[in-house]
């Protein structure tokens, strides 16, 4: 079995030993600098919510963050912007469009919010070659079942564009987090290509059940089974289900907003003990197939 990387400098040796051309990360954040600073300020004050400090390792200028991902061999990644109030999504989507146009390895990303304009700006994004959508139910504080969003869910299902949804109740529950509300969305739109961010943390069982039930539902590994969350035993318990879902698990790291080195997410996946074929699927093959990325 491949050796895990112990530092970011060892990440290229990790994916080369698997015979991969690099890594594909489905959960990366780039945002307008004022928004990113506010996100970092949230994590700076997250202690009361999470019960521990959250020292962001990669609190760097944007060019340095891009260079670091590329230096580790992350071949493609989204920007995963998300809105928390009306009137914000269209502006973020335009920024994401310009960011992707300036960086060939960035997947064109967008977000949606329950507002009358959502169909128009989502249609515009789809016509521009949209590759992935981000929805953050916790931060947005909205009900994913909102009737204003129903046409947008249908548009994404019809277009086959994946949507990375943070609907789990971690790191702190929101009014509409948990499997209930988003589960009703999936029941209404069973073809929706949803990626459950953070594997639905902490409602892992319920969100894995969505991936088991719906053909187009996947999960990402973001912050799962890492030392920071003390979830090694959780990995041992979920390993059989993750093995069975090999083709539906995507590498996600939450770069740059993580309180540990990027390499540790990969280390946590290796120690699940699911083998090199599973790692190849998670670190490259599944995302390549989902996003249409060649080797």
Do the beta carbons of residue 130 and residue 77 sit within 8 Å?
Answer: no
Q: Residue 43: is its pLDDT beyond 90?
A: no
Q: Give all strands of the β-sheet with 194-196 in edge-to-edge order.
A: 109-111, 132-136, 163-166, 194-196, 218-220, 249-250
pLDDT digits (tens, 9 = 90+) for 45-78: 865 556 678 899 999 999 999 999 999 999 999 9
Mean predicted confidence (pLDDT) in 23-48: 90
CA angle 169, 123, 288 (to 5 degrees): 65
**pLDDT score, position 171:** 85
Q: Residue 172: is its pLDDT beyond 90?
A: no
Rounded to the nearest 5°, which phi and psi values hold at 112?
-135, 155
pLDDT digits (tens, 9 = 90+) for 223-279: 999 998 766 789 999 999 999 999 999 999 999 999 999 999 999 999 999 999 999
Q: Residue 295: is its pLDDT beyond 80?
A: no
Dihedral sign, CA of 77, 195, 201, 114? positive
DSSP labels, the chain: -PPPPSSGGGHHHHHHHTT-S-EE-S-B----HHHHHHHHHHHHT-HHHHSS----TT---HHHHHHHHHHHTEEEEE-----SSTT-HHHHHHHHHHHHHH-TTEEPEEE--SSTTHHHHHHHHHHTT--EEEEEHHHHT--TT-TTTHHHHHHHHHHT--EEEE-S--SS--TT-SHHHHHHHHHH-TT--EEEGGGGTT-HHHHHHHHHH-TT-EEE-TT-S-TTTT-HHHHHHHHHHHHHTGGGEE----BTS-SS-HHHHHHHHHTT---HHHHHIIIIIHHHHHHT---
Q: What is the mean pLDDT of the chain?
A: 95
**pLDDT score, position 51:** 65
> 151: pLDDT confidence band, cut at 50, 70 and 90?
very high
**pLDDT score, position 233:** 83
15-24, 33-42, 49-58, 61-70: range with lowest mean pLDDT: 49-58
Q: Which domains does the chain have, with CATH numbers?
A: 8-291 (3.20.20.140)
Higher-confidence position of 192 and 229:
192
Mean predicted confidence (pLDDT) in 31-52: 83
CA distance 237 to 244: 13
Tokens representing 180?
A: 């209930």
pLDDT digits (tens, 9 = 90+) for 114-136: 999 999 999 999 999 999 999 99
**pLDDT score, position 178:** 98
């Amino acid at each position: 079995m491949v050796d895990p990387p112990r530092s970011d400098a060892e990440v290229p040796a990790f994916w080369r030993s698997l015979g991969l051309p690099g890594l594909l990360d489905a959960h990366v954040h780039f945002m307008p600098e004022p928004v990113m600073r506010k996100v970092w300020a949230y994590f700076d004050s997250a202690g009361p919510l999470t019960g521990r400090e959250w020292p962001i390792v990669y609190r760097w200028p944007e060019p340095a963050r891009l260079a670091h991902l590329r230096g580790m061999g992350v071949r493609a990644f989204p920007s995963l912007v998300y809105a928390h109030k009306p009137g914000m999504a269209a502006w973020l989507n335009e920024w994401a469009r310009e960011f992707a146009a300036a960086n060939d390895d960035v997947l064109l990303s967008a977000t949606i919010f329950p507002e009358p304009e959502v169909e128009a700006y989502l249609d515009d994004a789809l016509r521009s070659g949209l590759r992935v959508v981000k929805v953050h139910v916790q931060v947005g504080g909205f009900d994913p079942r909102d009737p204003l969003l129903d046409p947008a869910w249908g548009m994404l299902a019809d277009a086959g564009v994946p949507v990375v949804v943070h609907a789990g109740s971690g790191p702190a529950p929101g009014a509409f987090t948990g499997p209930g509300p988003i589960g009703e969305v999936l029941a209404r739109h069973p073809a929706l290509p949803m990626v459950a961010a953070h594997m639905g943390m902490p409602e892992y069982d319920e969100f894995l059940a969505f991936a088991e039930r719906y053909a187009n539902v996947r999960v990402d590994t973001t912050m799962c089974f890492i030392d920071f969350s003390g979830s090694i035993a959780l990995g041992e318990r979920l390993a059989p289900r993750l093995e069975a879902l090999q083709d539906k698990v995507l590498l996600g790291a939450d770069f740059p907003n993580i309180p540990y080195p990027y390499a540790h997410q990969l280390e946590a996946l290796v120690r699940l003990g699911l083998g090199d074929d599973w790692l190849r699927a998670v670190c490259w093959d599944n995302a390549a197939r989902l996003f249409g990325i060649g080797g």
